[in-house]
């Protein structure tokens, strides 16, 4: 009787131990598969379509990894102000922040974000799979380290009214007035800056304008003048951080922009992001330029029914005097950077890789309003099936990213330099400064700012 009871007890103990071992094994496996389960990753991102588009993926990611991702979507200014306050206070509130080229140097210089090179190496992530521009926009420093995950690679695509440019009457009228054929810009044969001015002048009539681009405030004032400075062969400063603006090429850029201004809506000097879209969709602009999504939307019948199907895509005009066969556009977009104060940097990187490096998810994100940073997404047939007009868009977009885009001047006090350039351009546009005076004035002021970092 006693030995039976003892055997029974022993069996119970063995069974309990076995159950415990199984439970431990299961938990251990789960922990290995979900090493960051329970972590919360907070992202500070811009409130716009591409961040809206990844929100539906968050629950799937949490179910797979146990990591909860919370996203704060704010306007550009509000996000910047808040992230700076959090960084300065060292709260570690954000694990991931949107890193714009406009303020990346400041954040990196202050040590607020970490380089992702080591993470890429540790995870064996092939950065070649991404568009080169999407990686390049996140590079900074003497060793060209990558500071943010590829998230958005963008630039200004030039848009023109194909229907007007191909209209026989318009072509005849142009030939008669200017003595040469109305140019149809292509990747292989972009317009020259002189042709661009002629075309802009030709189409400026009645309610219609030859060209329009936002130029308001510091951001767009600078984004308007910077590519023209590059196109004419100028730069803001040299490799030693000496200003190079008191230069005939910069004078030429100011003069070109000043002449072009006569064919733009007067209000464009106060326009901000996207303020030219209503006139573009109204069919009142013969030519304009805009970020990639604006280019795609212009031919979308649901967005711009009046001009959809009539918009052509082109590279920027080039200035033969520069000795180059192409013009320039500003590399835009940005990346998602992991913050130095983050309590969960590994979980943060895991999320970024899970969503943006997986071709299937990256494609789904793009099709639902996201951006394309993986080369495979641009080549996916699903994209051209969804947006047939993208067939004309992507070759130009790829050409721009590969050939004409340049990273804007990136130094810790970039914003102050951009303020000077925007203000100088506005003074030229308002007729208060001649191009020569503008170049001299900007040179002196920018050089004084650069002295701080030389």
Partner 1 sequence: MTSNDPPHARAPGRRARSVRRSARHWRATALFIGPTLVALAVVAVLPTLWAIFSSLFEWHFHRPHARAFIGLGNYVRLAGDARFLNAAWNTAIYTAVSVGATMVFGTLLALLTRAPFPGKSVVRALLTVPMIMTPVVSTLVWKTFFFEADLGLVNWVLGLAGIRGPAWVASSPSAMATILLVNVWFMTPFVYLVMDAALEGLPDEVVDAAKIDGAAYWQRVRFVILPMLRATIVFTVIFRITIDARMFEIIHVMTGGGPARDTEVLTLWVYNAALRNFHLGYGNAGGVALMVLVGTACLAIMLVGLRDMYGRTGAR
Stretch that binds partner 1, among 141-149, 242-250, 278-286, 324-332 (CB under 8 A): 278-286
Stretch that binds partner 1, among 35-43, 84-92, 225-233, 369-377 (CB under 8 A): 84-92
Which residues, including other chains, have CB under 8 Å from residue 318's CB and lie 6 or more apart? 190, 191, 192, 193, 231, 324, 325, 326, 327
Which of 84, 125, 308, 310 touches partner 1 by CB under 8 A?
Answer: 84
Ramachandran region, residue 179 (left: φ > 0; alpha: ψ -120 to 50; beta: rest) = left
Q: Nearest approach, Cβ of 379 to partner 1 (angstroms)?
A: 39
Cβ-based neighbour number of residue 320 at 10 Å: 10
Q: Nearest approach, Cβ of 440 to partner 1 (angstroms)?
A: 16
Q: Which residues of 127-152 are buried (b: 16+ CB within 10 A; e: fewer)?
A: eeebbebbbbbbbbeeeeebbbbbbb
x-or-dash pattern for partner 1, window 86-125, by CB under 8 A?
A: -xx-----------------xx-xx-x-------------
Q: Nearest approach, Cβ of 215 to partner 1 (angstroms)?
A: 8
- DSSP category for residue 92: -
Instruction: By CB under 8 A, tell whether 412 contacts partner 1.
Output: yes
Which of 186, 353, 413, 434 touches partner 1 by CB under 8 A?
Answer: 413
- DSSP category for residue 207: T
Q: Nearest approach, Cβ of 88 to partner 1 (angstroms)?
A: 5
Which of 426, 438, 443, 450 touches partner 1 by CB under 8 A?
Answer: 426
Measured from the CB atom, the residue of 36 and 445 that comes closer to partner 1 is 445
Measured from the CB atom, the residue of 81 and 385 that comes closer to partner 1 is 81
How many CA within 13 A on the CB side of residue 38? 3
Q: Which tokens is 66 given?
A: 């146990």
Instruction: By CB under 8 A, tell whether 416 contacts partner 1.
Output: yes
Measured from the CB atom, the residue of 156 and 268 that comes closer to partner 1 is 268
Measured distance CA(45)–CA(348) in Å, rounded:
14
Q: Nearest approach, Cβ of 420 to partner 1 (angstroms)?
A: 10
What's the residue count for the chain? 454
Q: Indicate if the alpha-carbon torsion angle 116, 126, 134, 43 is positive or negative.
A: negative
Instruction: By CB under 8 A, tell whether 81 contacts partner 1.
Output: yes
Measured from the CB atom, the residue of 375 and 427 that comes closer to partner 1 is 427
Which of 210, 221, 290, 295 touches partner 1 by CB under 8 A?
Answer: 221
Q: Nearest approach, Cβ of 159 to partner 1 (angstroms)?
A: 18
Measured from the CB atom, the residue of 246 and 416 that comes closer to partner 1 is 416
Q: Indicate if the alpha-carbon torsion angle 178, 181, 185, 191 is positive or negative.
A: negative
Measured distance CA(139)–CA(335) in Å, rounded:
10
Instruction: By CB under 8 A, tell whether 266 contacts partner 1.
Output: yes
Collapsing DSSP states into helix, strand and coil, what is residue 145? strand
DSSP string covering 293-344: HHHHHHT-TTT-TTTTT-EEEEPPPB-GGGT-SS--EE-EEEEEEEBTT-S-
Stretch that binds partner 1, among 63-71, 161-169, 342-350, 412-420 (CB under 8 A): 412-420
Which of 14, 20, 430, 453 touches partner 1 by CB under 8 A?
Answer: 430
Q: Cα–Cα distances in Å, from 351 out to 7, 67, 338? A: 52, 8, 11
Instruction: By CB under 8 A, tell whether 18 contacts partner 1.
Output: no
Which of 49, 141, 278, 301 touches partner 1 by CB under 8 A?
Answer: 278
Stretch that binds partner 1, among 129-137, 234-242, 312-320, 411-419 (CB under 8 A): 411-419
Any idea which residue has 């306050």 for tokens?
A: 85
Q: Nearest approach, Cβ of 444 to partner 1 (angstroms)?
A: 12
* Helix (H) or strand (E) run with residue 70 in it: strand 68-74
Q: Nearest approach, Cβ of 81 to partner 1 (angstroms)?
A: 6
Q: Cα–Cα distances in Å, from 397 out to 214, 289, 331, 381, 384? A: 20, 12, 12, 16, 14
Q: Nearest approach, Cβ of 265 to partner 1 (angstroms)?
A: 5
User: Parallel, antiparallel, or unpaired: how do β-strands 96-99 and 145-146 relate?
Assistant: unpaired
Which of 158, 390, 423, 446 touches partner 1 by CB under 8 A?
Answer: 423
Site residues, partner 1 (CB under 8 A): 80-81, 84, 87-88, 106-107, 109-110, 112, 207, 216-218, 221, 265-272, 278-279, 284, 412-413, 415-416, 419, 422-423, 426-427, 429-430, 432
């Amino acid at each position: 009787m006693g030995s039976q009871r003892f055997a029974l007890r022993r069996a119970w103990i063995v069974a309990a131990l076995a159950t415990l071992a199984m439970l431990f094994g299961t938990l251990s496996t789960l922990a290995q598969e979900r090493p960051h389960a329970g972590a919360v990753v907070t992202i500070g991102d811009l409130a716009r379509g591409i961040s809206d588009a990844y929100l539906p993926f968050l629950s799937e990611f949490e179910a797979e990894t146990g990591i909860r991702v919370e996203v704060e979507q704010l306007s550009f200014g509000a996000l910047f102000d808040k992230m700076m306050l959090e960084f300065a206070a060292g709260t570690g509130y954000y694990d991931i922040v949107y890193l714009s080229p406009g303020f990346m140097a400041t954040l990196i210089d202050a040590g607020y974000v970490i380089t992702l090179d080591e993470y890429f190496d540790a995870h064996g992530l092939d950065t070649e799979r991404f568009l080169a521009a999407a990686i390049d926009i996140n590079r900074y420093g003497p060793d060209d380290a990558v500071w943010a995950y590829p998230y958005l690679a963008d630039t200004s695509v030039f848009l023109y009214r194909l229907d007007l440019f191909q209209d026989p009457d318009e072509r005849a009228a142009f030939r008669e007035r200017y003595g040469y054929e109305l140019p149809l810009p292509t990747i292989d044969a972009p317009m020259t800056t002189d042709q661009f001015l002629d075309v802009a002048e030709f189409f400026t009539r009645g309610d219609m304008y030859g060209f329009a681009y936002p130029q308001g405030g510091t951001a767009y004032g600078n984004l308007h003048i910077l590519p023209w400075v590059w196109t004419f062969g100028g730069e803001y400063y040299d490799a030693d951080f000496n200003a190079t603006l008191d230069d005939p090429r910069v004078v030429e850029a100011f003069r070109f922009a000043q002449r072009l201004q006569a064919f733009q809506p007067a209000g464009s000097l106060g326009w901000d992001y996207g303020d030219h879209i209503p006139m573009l969709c109204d069919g009142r602009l013969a030519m304009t330029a805009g970020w990639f999504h604006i280019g795609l939307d212009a031919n979308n019948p649901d967005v711009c029914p009046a001009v959809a199907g009539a918009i052509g895509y082109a590279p920027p005009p080039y200035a033969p005097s520069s000795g180059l066969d192409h013009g320039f556009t500003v590399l835009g977009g940005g990346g998602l950077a992991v913050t130095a104060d983050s309590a969960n940097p590994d979980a943060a990187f895991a999320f970024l890789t899970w969503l943006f490096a997986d071709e299937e998810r990256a494609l789904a994100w793009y099709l639902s309003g996201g951006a394309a940073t993986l080369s495979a997404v641009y080549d996916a047939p699903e994209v051209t099936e969804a947006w047939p007009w993208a067939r004309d868009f992507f070759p130009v977009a790829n050409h721009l990213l590969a050939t004409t885009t340049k990273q804007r001047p990136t130094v810790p006090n970039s914003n102050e330099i951009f303020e000077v350039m925007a203000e100088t351009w506005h003074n030229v546009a308002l007729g208060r400064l001649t191009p020569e005076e503008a170049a001299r004035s900007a040179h002196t002021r920018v050089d004084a700012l650069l002295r701080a970092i030389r």
